[in-house]
Chain A
Amino acid sequence: MSAPESNPDHNHLPDPQSGRAEAEPEVSPEELLASIPADPWPCGGVSARGVRSSLWIDQAMFQAAGLAIVAGALGLVAAFPQSWLAVAAIPGLVIAAWFVVNTLSSRAARRVALSAGIEDHDLIAAERELAGVLATRPLVAWVRRRAFERLARLRLKRGQAEDASQIVWGLLQRQGPGPRRPTLLMLLAEARLRAGDVLGAYRALWAVEQEQASLSDRLRCLAVTVRYEAAIGRWDRVARDARARASMAELLSPDEAASVHALLAEGARRTGADDLARWLGARAELLGAGGRQAEPAS
């Protein structure tokens, strides 16, 4: 990876403190994230430690159930060495345990999907559904992680950026199936930016850049990156590749596309690209209400 001065296409995030583009990274994303102290954003109700504990309890329950089944099966075989009961009990126990866990988990997964469906019009009802899911034990890991991810999005929607940060941070610290790492990092970046913590947002965005992200993650990344660059006053960075960014941004929801276009227009205006600024401004206004207020965050 070359330094930005030697490569004009270099597209690293600008550092929030110096405002300069980040040069050769000396630490891995893991190290960067690890430099954020554990439970850095204390808030009521949800904590990263709580999320980790919840995931750990499921795992411990599965391990305990596995051990109990093995011990029970061995006990049966030892007690009734020539009985058909002992032979049938082993797969019977495994199948019964599998059935219970899967039934609970699939019901919970449906409730998570339901909460995603209703959160647009009733945030409280959506959170109530998620609370029901999170109270269920044991759940397979991906269902619980998905429920936590939805809860983080919900809290972010309700303006509780610290809560959302805590939840995502807890999920990131304990790897597992379910929501992908770039998705979680994007959510963290968005939450930190909403909380006014540009350094935290920068770290999360930097980590996202090292990951293989899906289209929706890349779109989220674009929206958060533009807002971040505007927040630290790097309008030259905002205006860079503005046309390409605009064509990506049009895939966002209309209001969000409008607010990204408005920031791009502001960046173009501040860097003297007036024609581009006019075109972007017109698109911003046509795309959504967010485009009418080109609010520089700095």
Chain B
Amino acid sequence: MSVPDALAESSAGAEPYRPPTTDELERLLAKGRPTAGAPPWLRVVVPAAVGLVVLSLVLSVMGAHDVAALLPLLGVVAAVLAVRWRARRERNASEAVHRAHELSAMRRPKQALAEAWRLWPASSQAPMRRRQLLAVMAQSLEELGAWEQAVRVFDELLDSLPQPSPPELMLRLRRAAVLVSCERLTDVDDELRATRPRLPVGQRHLASAMFRLTELLRDAATGHIDRLESLGDPLMDELRPLGVDAALGYTAAAVCLAREAQARDTRAQAQPVRRVGAALGDDAGPEPERLRALARDWWRRALALSPAGPLLARTPEAGRWLEDGTLKDPAG
């Protein structure tokens, strides 16, 4: 299956890049589904082997013993050559998938997606390669901001994994994080509720960090924060296993804090005599300002790990707080 024109890297100059549509993706996924019944190679090998045995028997009965003795040997030689050819083909296919995976790891989503798209139709009979290609596609679509399509690929990938299993848990959490960007917040809540009891015990686990990131993204999207104290410094330890992807969690924390500061300002204007309790330790100055300072800290940390573009794409509200100056460092 050819790669859609808009997906090809070479077309980038001619027309703006666009990720594949949901329909294009559905058509592609349909082409890589495992077919029922015996694999194609077996459909050739079994009749050939039976034919060879029958021919050998017939020749033996007819008295052509020399030829009859030679045929099985030729069969063995042919089988060895076929196995070698197949092994080489498998190795080449695995190397191509590995290259696509490397492109994806190096955050080159357009090239990785185009490569996975090209390799996909030939992977229907290789479950491991299928999963690897689906993982590449899901990550690339996520990075390209094609949320709905990424969720669709995550669904396909989850269907191909044993359930429940640790990789399945991680994928469900990643899918839930993408669902936030699709604004399917009820589904996100359902996923978080379903996965919470399965989180590994102990700190600094990738699945727990992913869970926390998804919670933060949901909180940033809904504007509802359960515990303001949870947005203090321990958050850094919680998100550390995510590496540079923790930047997204820091951005979400900054958005939550900025929004909370504004809400408290509004409440204070409505009830000027009300004193707001110290939610984050000792009372150092007016609390909304403290929250804003914390928000700026998280945003600064996020920027240390990642450029602003991808962070604003995932949490558009951060752009609003940047524009009104809440997240801008007063020192410049």
Which residues does A use to contact B, with CB under 8 Å?
77, 81-82, 84, 86-88, 90-91, 94-95, 214-215, 250-251, 253-254, 257, 279, 282-283, 286-289
Contacts and interface: CB of A to CB of B under 8 A. Distances in A.
B105 A251 contact: yes
Interface in B42-86: 56-57, 60, 65, 68-69, 72-73, 75-76
B98 A214 contact: yes
Sorted nearest first, the 10 A-B pairs with minimum C-beta distance are A215-B102, A91-B72, A254-B243, A282-B304, A250-B244, A87-B69, A91-B76, A94-B76, A283-B304, A82-B65
Interface in B242-257: 242-244, 246
A288 B240 contact: yes
A212 to B, nearest CB: 12
B301 interface: yes
A86 B242 CA distance: 64
Given A214-B98, A286-B246, A287-B243, A87 B304 contact: no
Given A84-B60, A215-B105, A254-B243, A90 B301 contact: no
A87 B68 contact: yes
Interface string B251-280: 000000000000000000000000000000
B273 to A, nearest CB: 41
A250 B65 CA distance: 68
A244 to B, nearest CB: 12
Interface in B148-187: none
Contact of A254 (B68, B73, B240): B240
13 contacts: A86-B69, A87-B60, A87-B65, A87-B69, A90-B69, A91-B75, A94-B76, A214-B98, A250-B243, A250-B244, A254-B242, A257-B243, A286-B236
Nearest to A282: B304
B241 interface: yes
B331 interface: no
Contacts of B73: 90-91
B305 A286 contact: yes
Interface of B: 56-57, 60, 65, 68-69, 72-73, 75-76, 98, 102, 105-106, 236, 240-244, 246, 301, 304-305
A90 B246 CA distance: 62
A254 B76 contact: no
Contacts of A253: 243
B106 A251 contact: yes
Nearest to A253: B243
A197 B236 CA distance: 36
B241 A254 contact: yes
Contacts of A87: 56, 60, 65, 68-69, 72
Given A250-B243, A287-B305, A289-B240, 7 more contacts: A81-B65, A84-B57, A87-B65, A250-B305, A254-B242, A279-B304, A287-B243
Contacts of A88: 72
Given A91-B75, A215-B102, A251-B106, A287 B244 contact: yes
Contacts of A84: 57, 60
A274 to B, nearest CB: 16
Nearest to A219: B105
Contacts of B60: 84, 87
A143 to B, nearest CB: 14
Contacts of B72: 87-88, 90-91
Contacts of A250: 243-244, 305
B69 A286 contact: no
Contacts of A251: 105-106
A86 to B, nearest CB: 7
Among B57, B76, B241, B243, max chain A CB count under 10 A is at: B243
B69 A283 contact: no
A77 B73 CA distance: 13
A130 B102 CA distance: 28
A95 B68 CA distance: 18
A82 B304 CA distance: 82
A140 B69 CA distance: 29
Contacts of B242: 254
Contacts of B105: 215, 251
Contacts of A289: 240
Contacts of A283: 304-305
A282 to B, nearest CB: 5
B244 to A, nearest CB: 5
